Homo-oligomer: A and B are copies of this chain.
Amino acid sequence: MSTIPICQYDAEILSNRQIGPGLYWIDLLAPEISRHAQPGHFVHLIASDVSKDSSRQTWLRHTPLLRRPFSIAERDPEKGVFGLIYRIVGGGTEILATRREGERVDVLGPLGRTFEPIRAGRPVIMVAGGVGVAPFLSLAQETVRDGRSDPAEMTVLFGAATAGLLSGEEKFRQLGVDVKLATDDGTTGHHGLVTDMLERELARSPRQCAYLYACGPTPMMRRCQAIAREAGIDGQVSLEGIMPCGVGVCMACVVPCVIPGDRSSPRRYERVCDTGPVFDMEEVVL
């Protein structure tokens, strides 16, 4: 459980725009959340309009019912703003995409355990699948902003189904961080899996990676675990889970965990929202 205060904000939408096919970026004004957020944190928000000056019954304002979790992709603590990148997958995200500048979103955060910081002299690779890129945008931005490490010591391997879904890529380049792209359909970059690219990368220059981060679809992260294990590299993964509460009370979002390094140790269920979403790579059973 982090000691960073959890805030609930009626955050103003500063912008909410399409950045790719079914892919959106939203900027929310929420000074305290943006002040405290660290790379890896997520927020839990209500997609629909729940303003209280309404004669709609409470349950009707809350359709769909539950909050939706999204990783913080960027923040500007001076302006009090943070940004999210989201893909339309169902009702909640579709409704979020209809929300307009000036409207308000009820947002809870920052939530969860954050990434192990990047340190100078310890080069890292971040493997991102699709919208799994979001927390790495934060990680790279904060690391460069704090001057904790040289952008040259960070490599991002970014894979998606097709070129249009690689939005966010340019932000890494702006920071001076190297990005290598992969698409399933070959529309840009490596034609194939981002994890194949990771293997190639590690084979070519093993010393270039002292620590590995991964966030994306489960099969991708499972493969990253195996690759890291083989290469003897430590790392972290950022997981998803169905999250009714997002703050550790409901016990719904669990993932089986073992004692890192001892895969036959007794499993226990850990909450993704609270013990995670960032876990040591060898701790979780995917």
Contact = CB atoms under 8 A, between A and B. Distances in A.
A3 interface: no
A130 to B, nearest CB: 16
A56 interface: yes
A64 interface: yes
A147 interface: no
Copies of this protein in the assembly total 2
Interface in A35-74: 54-57, 60, 63-64
A88 interface: yes
A63 B64 CA distance: 10
A102 interface: no
B95 A56 contact: yes
Contacts of A94: 54-56
Nearest to A93: B55
Nearest to A54: B94
Contacts of A54: 94
B55 A89 contact: yes
A102 to B, nearest CB: 15
A90 interface: yes
Contacts of A55: 88-91, 94
15 contacts: A54-B94, A55-B88, A55-B89, A55-B90, A55-B91, A55-B94, A56-B90, A56-B94, A56-B95, A57-B90, A57-B91, A60-B63, A60-B64, A60-B91, A63-B63
Given A54-B94, A55-B89, 12 more contacts: A55-B88, A55-B90, A55-B94, A56-B90, A56-B91, A56-B94, A57-B90, A57-B91, A60-B63, A60-B64, A60-B91, A63-B63
Return the 10 tightest CB-CB contacts between A and B, nearest first: A56-B91, A60-B91, A63-B63, A55-B94, A56-B94, A57-B91, A55-B88, A55-B90, A60-B64, A60-B63
